[in-house]
Amino acid sequence: MTALSPHPDRLFPANPIERDIARRLYSEVADAPIYSPHGHVDAAMLLANEPFPDPAALLITPDHYVTRFLHSLGVPFDELGLGRDGNPPVSGGRSVWRQLCTHWEAFLGTPVRYWFETELSEVFGLTEQPSAANADDLYDQLAETLGREEFRPRALFDRFRIAVLATTDDPADDLSAHLALRDDPTFTGRVLPTFRADRYMHPDELTWLAKLEQLGAASGIDCGSYDGLLAALCSRRAAFIAAGCTATDTGVIDAGSEPLDAADAERIHRSAIAGNLTGADAVAYRRNMLYRLAEMASEDGLVMQLHPGVIRNHHGPTFDAYGADTGHDLPDTGAYTRPLAPILRDFGTDPTFRLVLFTVDETTFSREIAPLAGFYPSVYAGAPWWFIDSPAGIARYRAAITDSAGFAKTSGFIDDTRAFCSIPARHDMSRRSDSSYLATLVATHQITEDDAVGVARRLVADVPIETFRLPR
């Protein structure tokens, strides 16, 4: 069997001078606490603190980075632990794990392979590369490990040195798990909700009316009117802030943000309820709602994260059978400077307003996001995400962003994960990649090594804390 032994110099430059500098820089941040300001881990998991059910349910099925790639190799979702049409999955954990092991070599060169090698070795102590031949043995070893007390969620939270973990939550969520964790004296970590109101911006979606009812029930405010919807969202934002929330998240197809007057917005709202919505009105309503969310952020100080340019649920049959977040959210071309002009005109220099821009179209890093962050006090350049949160993507991001925005106007690393145990591996990848980038600047005498040490430390602590207004 091939040994599983990640190289200590992985991701460092091949040039020995730069490699030595990168080693020193990395040593300054390797064990630093993790600030994770954007992710999708379920707070209820930490509250319950039950043993993880099986290796596949922990490491494969919830991670669409993994399932989408296996699906691309011809493995049906039915065989990856995903239930069809709301039914329980037909494949057990051992069978799902075998699929990963059988296709292990196909992940070579991908960030998923990097994360898995670090995770399996350093978190779970495996010493052999997965393969079809050893799949059952590795599964048994992992299953036995997950039964130990030190591998329950809270113990791993502490072991991973997570200082702050932000989740992603619907405005109608009662936040009971977050509140219980906050008030639990036996839990010393910080798990913060993040307010995500996407589903209320799209009156053309089939679930919109049901979401209005849920929001109305949660807020005690009738959402049958446009004014009622805005009031309900403001009310829930206040409840989120009381539960520790510091940020919102918004994913839309484009960053258009033209505001409507109240009467026109009310007309569209009532037309949607009556079933008479036009396509043009749906777009106008969504863009107006993006502006209104920015307006709310300028008033309550929640940091606004924006993820435009993603075509959600691209493959209709897969969405119909398995639902959202199954790996076929795909990139579209991005634009920020013109579409965000209304928001930045009105709030771009407001000290309360803060906007973190993410993209999956990396041509916008140097063309739009970095110049915007390099002028507007409110704008920050979000880290590479989804298709580009890889070592190569991070290097391209730093090269594209730094000229215009430096390091201070960036977000810190974003792991964006549902796969809890991959968090330290993903942050370690970022720390190594940034150490390599900084080492190149030092070796070419653009900055001193003392400066590079300071930047490396700030990128893992001060930058995410200050950008997302996190508690220290």
Q: What's the pLDDT score for residue 88?
A: 82
| CA nearest neighbour of 322 among 78, 127, 120, 10 | 78
Q: What's the pLDDT score for residue 457?
A: 98
Show the tokens assigned to 430. Answer: 């970022």
Helix (H) or strand (E) segment spanning residue 232: helix 226-242
Q: How many CB atoms lie within 10 A of CB 469?
A: 14
Residues sharing a CB contact under 8 Å with residue 431, sequence separation 6 or more, in sequence order? 26, 29, 30, 32, 413, 456, 460
Residue 305: helix, strand or coil by DSSP? strand
Transcribe 424-452 into DSSP letters: HHHHHHHHHHHHHHHHHHHHTTSS-HHHH
Residue 223: helix, strand or coil by DSSP? coil
Show the tokens assigned to 282. Answer: 């749906």
User: Longest C-alpha distance within the chain, in Å?
Assistant: 69
Half-sphere exposure of 86 (CA within 13 A, CB side): 0
Residue 463: helix, strand or coil by DSSP? helix
Dihedral-angle region of residue 247 (phi above 0 means left; psi in -120 to 50 means alpha; beta otherwise): beta
Q: What's the pLDDT score for residue 381?
A: 98
The Cα 464–Cα 382 span in angstroms is 10
Transcribe 163-197 into DSSP letters: EEEE--B-TT---HHHHHHHH-TT--SEEE--EE-
The one-character DSSP state at 307 is: E
Residues in the chain: 472
The list of the chain residues with pLDDT below 50 reads none
Residue type, 109: G
Q: How many CB atoms lie within 10 A of CB 454?
A: 16
Q: What's the pLDDT score for residue 91?
A: 86
Q: At what angle do helices 423-443 and 449-460 cross, to 10 degrees?
A: 160
Residue pair 414/305 in contact by the 8 Å Cβ criterion? no
Report CA 166 to chain centroid distance, whole Å.
9
The Cα 44–Cα 154 span in angstroms is 11
pTM above 0.95, yes or no: yes
| CA nearest neighbour of 154 among 56, 51, 59 | 51
The Cα 398–Cα 438 span in angstroms is 10
- Classify strands 330-331 and 310-311 as parallel, antiparallel or unpaired: antiparallel
Dihedral-angle region of residue 106 (phi above 0 means left; psi in -120 to 50 means alpha; beta otherwise): alpha
Q: Tell the residue number behind the tokens 């932000």, with chain if given.
A: 166
- Contacts from 60-63 at CB under 8 Å and sequence distance 24+? 60/96, 60/97, 60/99, 60/100, 61/89, 61/96, 62/418, 62/419, 63/417, 63/418, 63/419, 63/422
